[in-house]
Amino acid sequence: MINYIVRRFINLIPTFILATLLAWIVVELAPGDFASQFAFDQVDPNKAERIRELLGLNLPWWKRYFFWLRNLVTDFNLGISMTTKNDVTILVIPRMLNSLYLALPALILVYIIAIPIGVYSALRQYSIGDRFLTVFSLIGLAIPNFFLALIVLAFSVQWFQAYGFFLIPTGGMTSTNFSELSFWGKTLDFGWHLIAPVLVVALSGLAGLTRIMRGQMLDVMGQDYIRTARAKGLPEKSVTYKHGLRNAILVIIATIGSTLPDLLLGAGTVEFVMRWPGITPLFIRSIFAADVYVVMALLTIAVVLLMIGNLISDLALALVDPRIRY
Amino acid sequence: MADITKPQTKQEIETAEAKAVRSAKSESLYSIAWKQFRKHPLARLALTILAILYTVSAFADFIAPYPERYLNARATFQPPTKIQFRDADGRLTRPYVYKQTKSIDMETFQEVWTVDTSRQYPIKFFVRRDNVLDRYVPFPVNLIPVGIRNRLGIKPWASLHLFGVDDPSDQVKIYLWGSDDVGGDVFGKILFGGRISLTIGIIGSLVAIAIGMAMGGLAGFFGGWIDELIMRLVEALSAIPTIFLLLALSAIFYPLNWPPIYVFVAIVVSLALIGWGGIARSVRGLVLSLREQEFTFAAKALGANNWRVILRHLLPQTFSYVIVVMSLIIPGYILFESVLSFYGLGIQPPATSWGLMLNTAQSFAGVTGLTERWWIFIPGIFIFVSVLTWNLLGDGLRDAFDPRSRK
């Protein structure tokens, strides 16, 4: 097993380098750079050139990629943001945490709701409840996140206009008077702002996972060992929950590793609409401003998250499923 | 692979037997799949809805009362025009509309639209509006790029619209689903936007599948270092999160202020670039297993060269897989395009797409709530319906091609 883990880890390195190289090329292909906006500076016509030299933007792209990679590997330095002149790490980490505050509760919510619903649907296949839930999950899959977020936002404003107070906030992470609140006040305020975006993010993940859980449970309940268990004369409850559910659920739990990055990045549009200061709004702002290192930093973090998440999922699957050999 | 459904009546059994005797040839995979597909009511409904959506968007110029680039600074956020069927005495008449006028409420400083019932403006069908702005190139011809059209000397145009208001002064506008921030007709814009939103998925998935099949086929058939190279590339691509890669790709063409058709192509290429990897991986697996089967050896023994084996024997075997995959990735691409345009990184005005229209909704509607200006959320419903129906169609196709789910 350890051998396998080590091998998988070593395998990640070339993938990581190739992925960041590809990302770098894509970012590099964008016309113009950060200095282009100063190209027509009236006072100082050489400003753009000077900034280019200062930031090293006049070097060939592969050289800059090499420097960037070396800095990243040797002292975990992701470069300096050109717009805020801050260390990218300082800029990105709070954003990352904000996104996690959104994604983690959504993840927990998704798993808590999806598993029972999936099991119910599988055990009562083609019943009215199952059909209703199938339609519901199809609808959940088809509604764009940002559309739902927009509707929730508009609903919030509507509520305010009708009753004079906010049932749910109109976006943002904290209220304007946040700094004056006590500790518990702050927690409550934060939680209040969290409700709507978490629900919207969770709904999109929910629809997909319910379908997977249902399929998994149906698959397991059709296996020979379930028939054996029934033939032994075990009560149906024990067959379902001890032999069926435990086997079906293992696979779902093992996919947490790859679901978290999905939710984290899938929440992007919700962050955008609800003005949640997460990673996607920063990413888009940086793309508009050609702030290459911030874009690269976020891409790199996302790549690492996705790779680690998938690795954890694979390892967890290999651990719980004896049929998978490594 | 014969159809195994049992005939019901004696007569049917006889005809079925007679048929079996007459045609020893078995049914093709596609006719079986079609028969299976027709048993799937939801998928059939989805197909019908999609057919309507696509047809209506194709003839958008004709159905929409105003052209795509129509602006009207005097009618921003005009509520939907109510079509009246009864006159003042309550009798049925030909449909007509009232004029809507804008005024400012001096207490709240908000725009208020009032209906002026003093005069009726009848709706006319099949109207011709023969000014330059209202002319358009009718549907099948407008698919040919303008450059080629001009070179060939094809310059047809039409000015016929399905309906319009009979108003000589041209003051009264008919906005079935209201107007947006620049006074554009939301109903018409949805039809025009559908052209982009609905076709981008199909074309994008076709390109992705073409690349994916070529790469996967090469990797699976030749193996060795080609396989290693392609699969490494696929792995690296799949390690970059789709939506971030798409946004980074859009940054390449976004600042160039390209004309809409170039942007369209750029989005298609971006979608294909992010999507081909998964297809290549599956096609490679399929080819790897097909390569070892008897018919491949037979073809080789008969002297077929590699290309013939790939093109005539291996690729056709993957078509049913491709049809299913295509219908399942199209909804994803529709969503990706809408997200991209929603961020303002995709389709740019004056062209329009459903995502872009929701961008307008995002910037203007957040302050007024749901009941005022509700009509600018309508494009979202269209995204939802098209994604839902494509998903249903994909499910139906997957079941139709899957021998295990046959009834």
Fold of A2-30+78-320: MetI-like fold (1.10.3720)
Q: Which of A16, A138, A306 sits opposite B391 (nearest CB)?
A: A138
In total, the C-beta contacts within 8 angstroms joining chain A to chain B are: 140
Q: Return the sign of the alpha-carbon dihedral for residues B255, B256, B259, B262.
A: negative
**DSSP code, position A45:** T
pLDDT of residue B12: 54
CA distance B254 to chain A (A): 9
What's the angle, vertex CA B94, arms to CA B89 and CA B98, rounded to 5? 70
Predicted pLDDT at B3: 46
How far is A148 from chain B, CA to nearest CA, in Å?
Answer: 9
Structure tokens at A311: 């690795």
| Percent of chain B surpassing pLDDT 70 | 90
| Percent of chain A residues topping a pLDDT of 70 | 96
Cβ pair A153, A197 in contact under 8 A: no
For residue A228, the SS3 value is helix
B325: which residues sit within 8 A by CB, 6+ positions away?
B209, B279, B282
- What is the Cα–Cα distance from A253 to B178, expressed in whole angstroms? 48
User: Is residue B108 within 8 angstroms of chain A, CB to CB?
Assistant: no
**DSSP summary character for residue A87:** B
For residue A80, the SS3 value is strand
pLDDT (average), residues A300-322: 83
**DSSP symbol at A42:** S
Residue B237 has pLDDT above 60, yes or no: yes
Of A41-50, A76-85, A225-234, B156-165, the one with minimum mean pLDDT is A41-50
- Cβ–Cβ contact B213 with A under 8 A: no
Rounded mean pLDDT of chain B?
81
Q: Does the pLDDT value for residue B256 go beyond 70? A: yes
Q: Closest Cα of chain B to A141: distance in Å? A: 8
d(CA A144, CA A146): 6
Angle of CA points B189, B194, B198, to nearest 5° = 165
In angstroms, the CA A254 to CA A260 distance is 11
How is residue B45 written in tokens? 């409904």
CA distance A320 to A131: 31
With contacts defined as CB-CB under 8 Å, which chain B residues touch A142?
Answer: 331, 384-385, 387-388, 391
- Does this model's pTM top 0.90? no
Closest chain A C-alpha to B14 CA, distance in angstroms: 35
Is there a contact between B344 and B359 (Cβ–Cβ < 8 Å)?
Answer: yes
B43 contact residues in A (CB cutoff 8 A): none
What the block records as the tokens of A147 is 């559309």
- Cα separation, B363 vs B400, whole angstroms: 44
Instruction: Search chain B and give the residue with CA nearest A300.
Output: B240
Best probe of the B interface among A13, A18, A26, by most B CBs < 10 A, is A26
Q: Please tell me the distance in Å from A29's CA to the nearest CA on chain B.
A: 6
d(CA A123, CA A248): 12
Higher pLDDT, A240 or B15: A240
- A325: pLDDT confidence band, cut at 50, 70 and 90? low
Q: Which residue carries 């999109």 as its tokens?
A: A204
Task: Write down all domains in chain B, each with its CATH number in brackets.
Answer: 62-178 (no CATH), 189-405 (1.10.3720.10)
Residue A159, burial from CB neighbour count under 10 angstroms (0-12, 13-18, 19+): middle
**For A214-272, what is each residue's pLDDT tens digit?**
888 888 888 888 888 889 888 888 888 888 888 888 878 778 887 888 888 888 888 88
Quick check: bond before B350 cis, omega within 30?
yes
* Rounded Cα–Cα distance for residues A300 and A322 (Å): 33
Q: Does A269 contact B339 at a Cβ distance shorter than 8 Å?
A: yes
| B160-165/B110-128 β-pairing | antiparallel
Other CB atoms within 10 A of residue B185 CB: 27
Residue pair A168/A196 in contact by the 8 Å Cβ criterion? yes
Check residues A221 and B28 and name the one with the higher pLDDT. A221
Give the angle B206-B210-B212 at the CA atoms, nearest 5°: 115
Structure tokens at B41: 């009511």
Q: Give the end-to-end CA distance of chain A in Å, rounded to a whole number.
A: 7
- Given a contact cutoff of 8 angstroms between Cβ atoms, the answer to whether A216 and A248 are in contact is yes
Angle at CA B37, nearest 5°, toward B34 and B38? Answer: 90
Q: Looking at this protein, which amino acid is placed at residue B47?
A: L
Stretch (H or E) spanning A5: helix A2-29
Q: A275 by DSSP, 3-state: which? A: coil
Asked whether the predicted pLDDT for residue B386 surpasses 90, the reply is yes
Phi, psi torsion values for B52, nearest 5 degrees = -65, -50
Backbone angles phi, psi at A80, to 5 degrees: -120, 135
Contact A154 B256 (CB under 8 A): no
Beta bridge partners of B113: B102
pLDDT tens per residue across span B44-77? 888 999 999 999 998 888 888 888 888 877 777 8
B232 at interface of A, judged by CB pairs closer than 8 A: yes
Are residues A303 and B245, on separate chains, in Cβ contact within 8 Å? Answer: no
Amino acid at B323: I
What is the tens place of the pLDDT at every residue in A73-123? 888 777 777 777 778 888 888 888 889 888 899 989 988 988 888 888 888
3-state DSSP of chain B: CCCCCCCCCHHHHHHHHHHHHHCCCCCCHHHHHHHHHHCCHHHHHHHHHHHHHHHHHHCHHHHCCCCCCCCCCCCCCCCCCCCEEECCCCCEEEEEEEEEEEEEECCCCEEEEEEEEEEEEEEEEEEECCCHHHCECCHHHHCCCHHHHHHHCCCCCECEEEEEECCCCCCCCCCCCCECCCCCEHHHHHHHHHHHHHHHHHHHHHHHHHHHHHHHHHHHHHCHHHHHHHHHHHHHHHHCCHHHHHHHHHHHHHHHCCCHHHHHHHHHHHHHHHHHHHHHHHHHHHHHHHHCCHHHHHHHHCCCCHHHHHHHHHHHHHHHHHHHHHHHHHHHHHHHHHHHHHCCCCCCCCCCCHHHHHHHHHHHHCCCCCCCCHHHHHHHHHHHHHHHHHHHHHHHHHHHHCHHHCC
What pLDDT shows up at residue B366?
57
CA neighbor of A197 nearest in space, from A100, A66, A290, A293: A100
Give residue B7's pLDDT band: very low, low, confident or very high (50, 70, 90): very low
Per-residue model confidence as pLDDT tens digits over A268-296: 888 888 888 888 888 888 888 888 888 88
Say if CB B371 and CB B386 are below 8 A apart.
no
